[in-house]
Amino acid sequence: MSDVSRTALITGAGRGIGRAVALRLAAAGHRVALTARNRDELDETAKLCDGPAIVVPADLTAQGSVDDVFAMVEAEFGPVEILVANAGAGNSAPIARITDLDWQRMLDLNLTAPFRCIRRAVPTMVDAGYGRIVVVASVASKRGEPYIAAYTAAKHGVLGLVRSAAAELARTGVTVNAVCPAYVDTPMTTDTITMIANRTGRSPEEARRLLADKQPIGRLITSEEVADAVWFCVANPGVTGQGINVDGGAIQS
């Protein structure tokens, strides 16, 4: 339990990592504002939270939606003091088959939406002398893999954004970090498993093992393990500008 209850906004909070982060912050005594596109999933997350929680459905890639979400949170809970930019998605295709639409969709969701959230959060955080910004990035922020060029480019970009923002805000009381998971046991990974099975003829079990074996520990990362890393970034004011790997030892840094 934290000594001070603060207002936290979690994007992509309807399921998976976002839900685990919301529960972790709520358990610490913070007020949580939950946003994603699916209201039913958000409502379920809110029911699971221990403490005040509000649901703000939105598509953060839509023009003006970030400002609208922040305004609703501020009206209910006050200024956002903790921002966890978790919303994201991936796609897979050889470079020659990546369409302009696919490329732009990856940039819009994985890079531009977090940028807009950070831009909107920073002024009130700086004025207050306190802020915690955590972007859920990916190990794809630090290495390249075949067939995910658009996703990887966006995730490399968002890690650069985190590092630059952290340097700019270092003396203001605002920290900015990224958490970089490998394959996490979430609905997003389940979708990836289905795609691999459909494209390769492997069974879903074989496809799941293929992804699990990418981590040296031999299993998928859990959402709770990622949420713990997010909490570390929130709780420790001496940590900023970092990309913290939660990947079972895949990238040693």
Nearest to 207 by CA among 91, 221, 198: 198
Q: Are β-strands 174-181 and 53-55 bridged in parallel, bridged antiparallel, or unpaired?
A: unpaired
Sheet holding 82-85, edge to edge: 53-55, 31-35, 7-11, 82-85, 131-136, 174-181, 243-246
Q: Is residue 151 annotated as part of the catalytic site, yes or no?
A: yes
Q: Kindly name the residue from 130, 147, 151, 183 that is annotated as catalytic.
A: 151
Q: β-pairing, 53-55 with 31-35?
A: parallel
Structure tokens belonging to residue 82? 């903790």
Contacts of 109 (CB under 8 A, 6+ apart): 60, 61, 87, 88, 89, 154
The beta strand positions in the chain, using DSSP E, are: 7-11, 31-35, 53-55, 82-85, 131-136, 174-181, 243-246
| C-alpha distance across the termini of the chain, in Å | 31
CB 133 within 8 A of CB 177: yes
Q: How many CA atoms lie within 13 A of 162 on its CB side?
A: 33
On the CB side of 232, CA atoms within 13 Å amount to: 17
Cite the active site residues.
151
